[in-house]
Structure 1
Amino acid sequence: MSFEFQCHRCGQVHKGMPRLGPDVPDSYHEVSAAEQAARCTLSADDCVIDRTWFFVRGALEIPVAFEDEAFAWLVWVSLNESDYKAWRAARDLPRRAPPGPFRGWLNTRLPGYPDTLNLETRLHLRDRGRRPLVEVAPTGHPLALEQQDGIAAGRVVQLYTLTVHGAP
């Protein structure tokens, strides 16, 4: 059975496990709108700023109790230039076995958590065109603990509501 819930804020029934996240890394907002076209290269999968800062979009998956599918944050991870180039070389291959994992830093602030910017991560490539898996380094941060231990369905609903509708 597929995950679904009725949102108490909008009244709609939402079907399927949510996959939420911004379309750009947080650092993209530090570049003025007038300069973004000249200084940034942006796609759905990666972003380069000033040919110096390299970001890849991945899925930070959190297991959900009694559900077959994980909840996913679509987040941005900063990589060093050599790891970014290795990711680019492997991203269109049907089989993406090593390279990686790549050490990176979360470049996405997520609602419902203490500040998530710059949490240490590992970016794992996956086959068949799937987004890379983002693993938060083990710490006491609530995001790392939830990725390790999982969450209840009610927490998914809470995160969805907060992300889509904002704080009450």
Structure 2
Amino acid sequence: MIIEYKVREAIGKTMSDLNKRNMLTAAFASDDIVTSGFKELNNQVIEIPIIDNKERFIWSVWVTLSEENFLKSNELLHVEGRENEKPYFGWLSTELSIYPLTTLSLKTMVHTQEVGAVPLIELEQTNHPLVVEQREGITMERVKEIAHLINHSQ
């Protein structure tokens, strides 16, 4: 089981509750936003390892790409081997309000996965708490704390 929180929909789910193969298609079909020559992609995921556990905590987020990279990623949507594409630079466009510092505009690299799989987000190495959690992992107690913070902020 992977623990996931879909920020824009404000609901908690596990990856087993989602049809992973349809998430990316849905993102390109209806959830992308175009503003000022940049494109925002939905259903990118930030994986955070859970210490002493095989599972990962997942944030489902938006990332802004250049128009060129957005169009290229869209062209490769159904192309086998697309996971061999070099990562795309982007800016995190989701505010994860449980962190004491803003998560907006953190630098990212978007790693395309095999056809049908959701792209993975690698955050640029900084001392931001979200970046530290992605790098070092979190405890199951922290997972519970995040769930509590999310449930009580709605």
TM-score range (shorter-chain normalised) is 0.7 to 0.9
Please say if residues 111 and 159 of structure 1, whose CA atoms lie closer than 8 Å, have aligned partners that are also in contact: no
Q: Return the TM-score normalized by structure 2.
A: 0.78
**Is 1:111–1:162's contact at 8 Å kept on the other side of the alignment?**
no
Looking at CA atoms only, which structure, 1 or 2, has the larger radius of gyration? 1
Shift of 1:127: 0.8
Could you list the runs of 5+ residues in structure 1 that have no partner in the other structure? 1-15, 25-42
Could you tell me how far 1:52 is from its partner in structure 2? 2.4
Distance 1:50 1:109, change over 3 A: closer
Q: How far is the alpha carbon of 1:51 from its aligned partner?
A: 6.5
- Equivalent residue for 2:142? 155
Give the alignment of 1:9-48 within 5 angstroms: 16-23=1-8, 43-45=26-28, 46-48=31-33
Indicate conservation of the 8 Å contact 2:83/2:111, yes or no: no
CA RMSD of aligned residues (A): 1.9
Q: Bigger shift: 158-167 or 80-89?
A: 158-167
* Displacement of 1:148: 0.5
**Residue in structure 1 matched with residue 63 of structure 2 by the alignment:** 77
How far residue 86 of structure 1 moved from its aligned partner, in angstroms, is 1.1
Question: How far did 1:165 drift?
Answer: 3.0
AA at the equivalent of 1:116:
T
Whether the 8 Å contact between 1:64 and 1:70 is mirrored in structure 2 is: yes
In structure 2, give the amino acid aligned to 1:80. Answer: S
| SS of residue matched to 1:97 | helix
SS of residue in 2 equivalent to 1:76: strand
Alignment size in residue pairs: 134
Runs of 4+ that moved beyond 6 A:
none
User: Is the 8 Å Cα contact of residues 18 and 160 (structure 1) preserved in structure 2?
Assistant: no
Deviations 1:142-168 (Å, cap 9, x if unpaired)? 11111000000111111122123318x
2:108 matches 1:121: yes
1:145 to 132, 137, 143: 132
| Native 8 Å contact 1:126 1:133 kept in 2 | yes
Percent identity over paired residues:
31
